[in-house]
Structure 1
Amino acid sequence: QWAEIKMMDHTSPTYMLANLAHLHSEQLLQGLNLLRQHHELCDIILRVGDVKIHAHKVVLASISPYFKAMFTGNLSEKENSEVEFQCIDETALQAIVEYAYTGTVFISQDTVESLLPAANLLQIKLVLKECCAFLESQLDPGNCIGISRFAETYGCHDLYLAATKYICQNFEAVCQTEEFFELTHADLDEIVSNDCLNVATEEAVFYALESWIKYDVQERQKYLAQLLNSVRLPLLSVKFLTRLYEANHLIRDDRTCKHLLNEALKYHFMPEHRLSHQTVLMTRPRCAPKVLCAVGGKSGLFACLDSVEMYFPQNDSWIGLAPLNIPRYEFGICVLDQKVYVIGGIETNVRPGVTIRKHENSVECWNPDTNTWTSLERMNESRSTLGVVVLAGELYALGGYDGQSYLQSVEKYIPKIRKWQPVAPMTTTRSCFAAAVLDGMIYAIGGYEKVYFMVNMFLSSFNRPFLGVGAAVIDNYLYVVGGHSGSSYLNTVQKYDPISDTWLDSAGMIYCRCNFGLTAL
């Protein structure tokens, strides 16, 4: 039937009906609007002060649940021919009535602040949506705080989120504006507590708080300790913390502020202090714009890569970066202090008639400021298919394969002294396994020794052996996903609760997967 309709010419009855319906809609609106303009057949007058706006109840009720309830419910306005409004701007009400009869509304910087509250009160969703879209398009460092508060007042959730995101992404520009200095201490605390604050260093957050307090120091210095709690103080350098302690009298004269600085200094000088729950919270990095780094790997049976490239989600583009010093694959990789570390792996050298595979203990570090790779101290053991995690500012290399044996040893790299140190070994050898950090603990999940598939040995019993799993942490649960059981690929998902030391089943994936990527977003 659809094919037959498509082939009909423009003289067919179906086409003529569709065309007439469109013309009829236009003619109906135009006719109703002419009746309104000439005050003909109007049955309601909307009054704002001395201004009277003539309209038809049926038209207003058709575009507004507010008017529909007023004119069809048990309210007195149902029988009245005039309704007075005291909380709506007269220009905004006129614009909304015009919209009811024409389907168009004019939004500008001069009208939006009165039009949005009116559309919100009268529940005219399309006008409200257009007002929010207009304000979002007008966001800049000087008005984004005001727009976020405006959106919050009128329950415009999407606009509020957009304005909050803009504040975070442009924080260093926003904190120079008059709106910033007029924030209440509660509003400022909400902003600087945000994990997604886009700052080059945590120093920018401290300086922003300091400038806000100095704007009215007599009234605001009492809030310093509360606001300082929102600064990730352990992320500041020892030099910066010491200078604050010595030179900033506002901090030096406040007992709570001095305590906060002392706790931050303990993070740098007392490694055991880094595992406390409070310190973990205070060392969460801010969510600056993220990128992906694709590093090394294989592109063929014997082709080992040294190339590196970076993906920018903001503009959907890739760029090439400086290549690795050593081509490698099956290595460990992590980010520590905004630098990329590549650990171990396999280097392949192809010579006439022979291919040499070398299991590496070498380590390279990429600095994004200089786009250079630097060779660091070698691990004590060569490792491929290893697990790598970062905990309390230190890098851990777990297990793997050295070309002859499967390993259970673990060693950690301490950046400050530039050394690898052995730590307690795992309870079993592991290769091709998943590793994750949860609540200051390192977890090793699955993997195998030679052909023997391994079960997690140091937690409560897991219900299946597996290889090639994914692991990630969300909301204090360790999720273990997919893998291979030795006889089949898996789509299973289980999560580990460290408090009760129990595994819980979760909904399985749509597809079975092994040797895949899993990350918490």
Structure 2
Amino acid sequence: MSCDNDEASRGCSPPNVVFEASTQTPTNEDCESPLFTPKGYCLKTVEHSSLALGNIQKMKQQGQLCDITLKIGLERFRAHKVILASVSPYFYAMFNGDMKEQHQSEITIHDLDPTAIDLLIEYSYTGQILITPDNVQVLLPASSVLQIQEVREACCKFLLRQLHPTNCLGIRSFADTHCCKELHLKSHVYALQNFQQVVGTEEFLLLPVEEVKELISNSQLNISSEEDVFTAVLNWVKHDLGERSRFISQLMVHVRLPLVNREFLMTRVDNERLIRDDSECRELLLEAMRYHLAPERRCALSTSRTIERKPKGADPYLFAVGGGSLFAIHSECEVYNPKSDTWSVIAPMLWRRSRSGVTGLRRLLYVVGGYDGNSDLATAECYNPLVNAWTPITPMGTKRSCLGICSFDGLIYVCGGYDGASCLSSMERYDPLTGVWCSCPAMNTRRRYCRIAVVENCIYALGGFDSTNYQASVERFDPREGTWAPIPSMSSRRSSCGVVAYDGHLYCIGGNDGTTCMSSGEKFNVRRNAWEPIAAMHNRRSTHEIVAMDGFIYALGGNDGSSSLNSVEKYDPKLNKWTVVASMSIRRSSVGGAVLDCINLEYVLKQTMS
């Protein structure tokens, strides 16, 4: 096509082009494709946003079309307002409101770190940022000021993963300063759960007095004994004695001195000059001594300082202790985690023991008496799960194997058993605070291989062997009255049975009736004063252990009449049904077992067993 001169002088118009759909045969392009719409062909470039931002970032690096300079100290950073405003509500308000900075080409920002600003500007263009231990302390406050929530939350998550006894108090303070509520709460809980390690750090010694009070007054403090809290307070005060001695009574009121054992109370607390020179502290010491001197009156002497601390986040674990298989007596022990259905090895006992009594009290595991393969034992020891270690305690007044044991009202009761010569009916009580055993009224019946448990403030002794007969009889001891009384007998004779109290009922499961090893079980309804049958176990068991944990009753180990067992099963009282769970690592007849609530037990085992 061409234009003559006249047309050219008037301008040459292009010919009309028709863009409507043709009535001719269409091309091979599928008209039903998602790219086609009734209005036309839809083009969507998937990487458009990232490509555009990438090009804008290149322009920033080359200083092209930048319309804002941020001055941080001596550093200057060029950028595009629209990019900063799209990521930071702080910059959005600055560049779109009535602020004077709206029309400025250079803005000075005070009190923020240049490194953090550089990283956050880069994040605005790329959506990526690397948080490290070196930059998190400047990134968190900067992202908070600029209201870049994604980075702020990422910094908090990073710090949570860095929590350690040596830094948790510092992170807690840092989180409080920058209003990071979740980080503050979790670092505080971490400090409570790891108190025994935290008090040995410089961070603890440098805390202000109010924060020390906040820690030691908390009922969720994770400690093995109240002695740890007393020692922590003294260490903090003596770190700056001249300035801090005036706070001693304010802090000691939060130490639960009645729960400190007597030896520590007399040798450490009473001899501490800071305590003796302060009248309020002396009164707290007298309160603790009165509590120790009258075990029977402890309920009447209860205060906030006599209540055991219960740490948050503790989970129940089942401990299997000692026992025997074939010709071996075990000192080896293991622990079961019901959440993972796995067993782990823990530190072995100081003595080999089978036929011992095992119970938990104040987050410690106590093992009493038993048989070592040569003789019956009076020795006893306790296990601390916070350090995975055993410690000897005062021996009983009588050698006992095949004994019954339970803990009640801060005391440990043992009764019956065998002393190497005869079946026993005697009873003893151990006070962990004083380290003293004392005699209690004897049962009406001699019972070897008996079991005892506590229901509604009374101790029940069940079954056993009296040197002549296998027993179905049951008797009840009321510690308040100091007397034993018979109650209805079980439906079956049971020696070497398993006994546990759960939900107001007394369960007696398995055992030996003198002719066979049993799998049957029954429960005693205290209110109805009657026995009722329950479903039988999968295995016949005697000399096994029965414990209650997390709404289930567990039966572990024992003997099925021909061999020692390592199998474990659990009973659901609601369904009246038994289920097999993971087996122990070794066979254990005459095994002892108990449940303790523990925190970070797997971590402790990993650190101490490697």
TM interval, shorter chain, is 0.5 to 0.7
- Cα distance per residue 1:228-256 (max 9 Å; x no partner): 12223234333432345654333223222
* Matches of 2:533 and 2:90, distance apart in 1: 59
Deviation at 1:138, TM superposition (A): 5.6
If the length of structure 1 is used for normalisation, what is the TM-score?
A: 0.63
Alignment of 1:34-113 (within 5 A): 34-42=58-66, 46=70, 48=72, 53-64=77-88, 66-67=90-91, 75-76=97-98, 80-82=102-104, 85-86=109-110, 88-108=112-132, 111-113=135-137
Match of 2:474 among 388, 399, 407: 407
Question: Which residue of 1 is the match for residue 237 of structure 2?
Answer: 213
The answer on 1:390 being equivalent to 2:408 is yes
Match of 2:348 among 321, 327, 343: 321
- Code of the residue aligned with 1:265 in structure 2: it is M
Match of 1:445 among 505, 509, 519: 505
Query: 1:424 and 1:43, CA in 2 relative to 1: closer, same or farther beyond 3 A?
Result: farther
Question: Which residue of 1 is the match for residue 22 of structure 2?
Answer: none
Does the 8 A contact of 1:401 with 1:407 survive in 2?
A: yes
Deviation at 1:259, TM superposition (A): 1.3
The answer on 1:295 being equivalent to 2:345 is no
Does the 8 A contact of 1:454 with 1:467 survive in 2?
A: no
* Matches of 2:77 and 2:525, distance apart in 1: 76
* Matches of 1:298 and 1:455, distance apart in 2: 33
SS of the equivalent of 1:321 reads coil
Deviation at 1:213, TM superposition (A): 2.1
Deviation at 1:258, TM superposition (A): 1.0
Q: CA RMSD for the aligned pairs?
A: 5.4
Does the 8 A contact of 2:329 with 2:353 survive in 1?
A: no
* Matches of 1:246 and 1:334, distance apart in 2: 29
Deviation at 1:155, TM superposition (A): 3.3
SS of the equivalent of 1:188 reads helix
Question: Which residue of 2 is the match for residue 455 of structure 1?
Answer: 525
Identity of aligned residues (%): 29
Flag structure 2 segments of 5+ consecutive residues without an equivalent. 1-32, 35-43, 384-388, 415-451, 453-459, 465-469, 491-496, 510-519, 536-545, 555-570, 581-593, 599-610
SS of the equivalent of 1:80 reads helix
* Matches of 2:343 and 2:52, distance apart in 1: 47
Deviation at 1:343, TM superposition (A): 8.3
Flag structure 1 segments of 5+ consecutive residues without an equivalent. 1-12, 15-19, 348-360, 413-420, 437-442, 473-478, 484-488, 493-510
* Matches of 2:324 and 2:139, distance apart in 1: 59
Deviation at 1:260, TM superposition (A): 0.9
The answer on 1:182 being equivalent to 2:209 is no
Question: Which residue of 1 is the match for residue 501 of structure 2?
Answer: 435
Query: 1:406 and 1:129, CA in 2 relative to 1: closer, same or farther beyond 3 A?
Result: farther
Question: Which residue of 2 is the match for residue 149 of structure 1?
Answer: 173
Question: Which residue of 2 is the match for residue 416 of structure 1?
Answer: none
Does the 8 A contact of 2:476 with 2:487 survive in 1?
A: no
Query: 1:519 and 1:206, CA in 2 relative to 1: closer, same or farther beyond 3 A?
Result: closer
Deviation at 1:116, TM superposition (A): 0.8
* Matches of 1:229 and 1:156, distance apart in 2: 31
Query: 1:85 and 1:266, CA in 2 relative to 1: closer, same or farther beyond 3 A?
Result: same
RCO (CA 8 Å, sep 6+): is it higher in 1 or 2?
Answer: 2
Deviation at 1:50, TM superposition (A): 7.2
* Matches of 1:244 and 1:259, distance apart in 2: 16
Question: Which residue of 1 is the match for residue 146 of structure 2?
Answer: 122
Query: 1:79 and 1:269, CA in 2 relative to 1: closer, same or farther beyond 3 A?
Result: closer
Does the 8 A contact of 1:115 with 1:131 survive in 2?
A: yes
* Matches of 1:253 and 1:374, distance apart in 2: 33
SS of the equivalent of 2:255 reads coil
- Cα distance per residue 1:94-149 (max 9 Å; x no partner): 32111121334354555332211111233434423443355456656654422221
* Matches of 2:484 and 2:168, distance apart in 1: 52
Deviation at 1:392, TM superposition (A): 1.9
Deviation at 1:261, TM superposition (A): 0.6
* Matches of 2:270 and 2:394, distance apart in 1: 36
Does the 8 A contact of 1:293 with 1:310 survive in 2?
A: yes
SS of the equivalent of 2:129 reads coil
Deviation at 1:273, TM superposition (A): 3.7
- Cα distance per residue 1:158-217 (max 9 Å; x no partner): 543554466456656654554333311110112233456566654443233223223444
Does the 8 A contact of 1:309 with 1:319 survive in 2?
A: yes
If the length of structure 2 is used for normalisation, what is the TM-score?
A: 0.55
Query: 1:131 and 1:146, CA in 2 relative to 1: closer, same or farther beyond 3 A?
Result: same
Alignment of 1:473-512 (within 5 A): 492=574
Question: Which residue of 1 is the match for residue 603 of structure 2?
Answer: none
Query: 1:379 and 1:287, CA in 2 relative to 1: closer, same or farther beyond 3 A?
Result: farther
* Matches of 1:342 and 1:287, distance apart in 2: 29
- Code of the residue aligned with 2:102 in structure 1: it is N
Query: 1:220 and 1:195, CA in 2 relative to 1: closer, same or farther beyond 3 A?
Result: same
SS of the equivalent of 2:288 reads helix
Query: Aligned pair count?
Result: 435
Deviation at 1:316, TM superposition (A): 8.4
| Structure with greater proportional helix content | 1
Query: 1:435 and 1:364, CA in 2 relative to 1: closer, same or farther beyond 3 A?
Result: farther
Question: Which residue of 2 is the match for residue 256 of structure 1?
Answer: 280
Question: Which residue of 1 is the match for residue 247 of structure 2?
Answer: 223
* Matches of 1:108 and 1:320, distance apart in 2: 38
* Matches of 2:120 and 2:162, distance apart in 1: 22
SS of the equivalent of 1:76 reads coil
Does the 8 A contact of 1:336 with 1:390 survive in 2?
A: no
SS of the equivalent of 2:501 reads strand
SS of the equivalent of 1:334 reads strand
* Matches of 1:343 and 1:46, distance apart in 2: 76
Does the 8 A contact of 2:365 with 2:596 survive in 1?
A: no
- Code of the residue aligned with 1:407 in structure 2: it is V
- Code of the residue aligned with 1:293 in structure 2: it is F
SS of the equivalent of 2:283 reads helix
- Code of the residue aligned with 1:127 in structure 2: it is V
* Matches of 1:247 and 1:375, distance apart in 2: 27
SS of the equivalent of 1:105 reads coil
